Amino acid sequence: MPIATVNPATGELVRSFPSMSPEEVEERLALSAEAAREMRRTTFAQRAAWMRTAADLVTAESRDTAGLLTEEMGKPITQARAEVLKSARTMRYYADHAEDMLADQPLGDPAAVGASAAFTRYEPLGAVLAVMPWNFPMWQVIRFAAPALMAGNVGLLKHASNVPQTALYLDDLFARAGFPQGAFQTLLIGSSEVERIVRDRRVTAVTLTGSEPAGRAVAAVAASEVKKTVLELGGSDPFVVLPSADVQAAARTAVAARTVNNGQSCVAAKRFIVHTDIYDAFVQAFVEGTKALVVGAPMEETTDVGPLATETGRRELVELVEDAVSLGARLRCGGAAIEGQGWFFEPAVLENVTPEMRLYREEAFGPVAVILRVADVEEAVSVANDTAFGLSSSVWTTDADEERLLVEGLDAGAVFVNGMTVSHPELPFGGTKNSGIGRELAAEGMREFCNLKAVWKG
C-alpha cells in the first residue's frame, strides 16, 4: 500500500511520500536507543513540563490539525476538532498524574518476608513500537504516547499508510515540546517492514491497534522474541435495551454510537439487542434518527457522517449488507454506496440478521447497524456474548437486578450503563477474547510498558 494522503471525500491523491530507506530506519532506531538511555535519567517533573508544552502546541494548532485529520481519513470536522482537543487533555492528564501512578508501593508487612523494608517500583522498558490505525489518527497515538513517554519510555510510530501527514505532525510535535531528540519518532514504512522492527533488539515492546489478523501476526513475532505486547483489535459491541429504559433516549444515543467517526470505530456499538416489549418503538426511533443524519462533505459543520476512509472499506461494507439481504435480512434504510466523488455510504439499519449471515459474525467497519430481538435479560446476555469479540458494551435499564446481571454477565472489557461507550484517559481501555490483550489508558495502561521491580532490604 502506498504511503499517501488520498482525500476520501473526492478520491483524489493529495500527497505521497517515499518509504524510508533501511539506512534511514537504522538511523532512527539508533537514535531511539540513545534517547531511551537519556529518558531514564529524566525526572517526572521534566517530562511533565515537556508534555504540557506538547499539549499547549496541540491546542494552539487544533484548527489546522483537525483539518488535516479530516482531509486524510474523512471524519466530520467537528469530530476531528474534538479528537485533537481530547488528545491535548489526555497529555495534560498524564503530566499531572504519572508520578502518582508510578510511585513506589511499600509492602505493608516487610517482616513477613524477612526484610526491614520491601517495596515495588515501576521502571521504563525502553523503546516501544506502536503500530497504529487510521480511524483516530491522533487520539490512538496520543493514548499510547502520553503514558509511555511520561513513564520514561521512548516511542516509535508505524502509522497507517493513509495518514502520513498526521504521522509526521506527531513526529515533530514532541521534539518541538522539548523532549530529547529521538524520544518519539515516526517510521514511514510499509506493513511488510514491521516484523524486522519488532525483532530488532533495541525495540523492547509493541503495541498495536488494528485488525485481528494484524494483531495475531505482530503478536506472534513479538512472542517469538519474548517481548511485551498490548493489542486492541476488533469489536462487535452490543447495545442492550430493556423495557425499563428510556427508549427514546436509548435510540438517540444508539444512532450516535453506531455512526460516530463515520461508523469506523472498534468500540462503536454495532449490534443492538432489544427486548421484544419495546422493540417496535426502539426500531422506529432508531430508523428515523438514522435517516435524519446529514451525509456530506466532512469539512462542513453540519455534516453528521462523512465518507468512509478507503474505497476498499466501502466495498467490503456493501458486500456485508448484500450478503445479509440475500439471505433474508430486512434492510430498513440505507446500505448502498452513494454515487459520485468520494467513498460515501448510506448509513444502514438491518433486522432479521441470523447466524448464517456474515454480518452476524463479522465486524462491520462503517455505519451499518444490526438490530436483534430478545425475550428477556438472560437471552440478551446470551446473544450479546455470541461473538468472538469482547471490547465494550452499552446497556440500558433502570432495574437494579437487570443491571447486575448485565454487568456481571457480559464478556467485555467495559460496560457502560445508560450511556454510550466513550474512551477516557481516566478509564482503562481494552477487551477480552479476540478483541485483544492488555489495557490502554488510566494507570493500568501506563504500567503495561513498565518493569515492575521488587526491592527487598535486609
231, amino acid identity: L
The torsion angles phi and psi of 182, rounded to 5 degrees, stand at: 90, 0
> Is 306:75 a contact under the CB 8 Å cutoff?
yes
Task: Centre a 10 Å sphere on the Cβ of residue 338 and count the other Cβ atoms it contains.
Answer: 15
d(CA 237, CA 434): 12
> Is 48:33 a contact under the CB 8 Å cutoff?
no
> Is 416:394 a contact under the CB 8 Å cutoff?
yes
d(CA 70, CA 2): 19
Q: What is the pLDDT of residues 24-66, one digit of tens each?
A: 999 999 999 999 999 999 999 999 999 999 999 999 999 999 9
Please choose, from the candidates 216, 86, 208, the residue with its C-alpha nearest in 3D space to the C-alpha of residue 138.
86
The C-alpha cell that represents 10 in the structure block: 473526492
Residues annotated as catalytic (active site), given as ranges: 232, 266
d(CA 440, CA 131): 14
Percent of the chain with pLDDT over 70: 100
User: Kindly report the CA angle at 57 between 262 and 26, in degrees rounded to 5?
Assistant: 85
d(CA 50, CA 85): 17
The full 3-state SS of the chain, as one line of letters, equals: CCEEEEECCCCEEEEEECCCCHHHHHHHHHHHHHHHHHHHCCCHHHHHHHHHHHHHHHHHCHHHHHHHHHHHHCCCHHHHHHHHHHHHHHHHHHHHHHHHHCCCEECCCHHHHCCCEEEEEEEECCEEEEECCCCCCCHHHHHHHHHHHHCCCEEEEECCCCCHHHHHHHHHHHHHHCCCCCCEEECCCCHHHHHHHHHCCCEEEEEEECCHHHHHHHHHHHHHCCCEEEEECCCCEEEEECCCCCHHHHHHHHHHHHHHHHHCCCCCEEEEEEECCCHHHHHHHHHHHHHCCCECCCCCCCCCECCCCCHHHHHHHHHHHHHHHHCCCEEEECCCECCCCCCCECCEEEECCCCCCHHHHCCCCCCEEEEEEECCHHHHHHHHCCCCEECCCEEECCCHHHHHHHHHHCCCCCCEECCCCCCCCCCCECCEECCEECCECHHHHHHCCEEEEEEEEC
pLDDT of 69 > 90? The answer is yes
pLDDT value of residue 202? 98
pLDDT value of residue 6? 98
* Look-up of cell digits 493489542: 231
The C-alpha cell that represents 292 in the structure block: 435524519
> Is 78:67 a contact under the CB 8 Å cutoff?
no
pLDDT value of residue 33? 98
pLDDT of 260 > 80? The answer is yes
pLDDT of 214 > 80? The answer is yes
Q: What is the pLDDT of residues 264-319, one digit of tens each?
A: 999 999 999 999 999 999 999 999 999 999 999 999 999 999 999 999 999 999 99
What's the whole-number mean pLDDT along residues 186-190?
98
pLDDT value of residue 1? 74
Q: What is the pLDDT of residues 112-153, one digit of tens each?
A: 999 999 999 999 999 999 999 999 999 999 999 999 999 999
Contact residues for 190 (Cβ-Cβ < 8 A; gap 6+): 1, 3, 19, 161
Query: Would you say how long the chain is, in residues?
Result: 458
d(CA 102, CA 446): 8
pLDDT of 21 > 90? The answer is yes
> pTM for the complete prediction?
0.97
> Is 203:127 a contact under the CB 8 Å cutoff?
yes
The torsion angles phi and psi of 225, rounded to 5 degrees, stand at: -100, 5
pLDDT value of residue 107? 95
pLDDT of 456 > 80? The answer is yes
Quickly state the pLDDT bin for 357 (edges 50, 70, 90). very high
What's the whole-number mean pLDDT along residues 164-178?
98
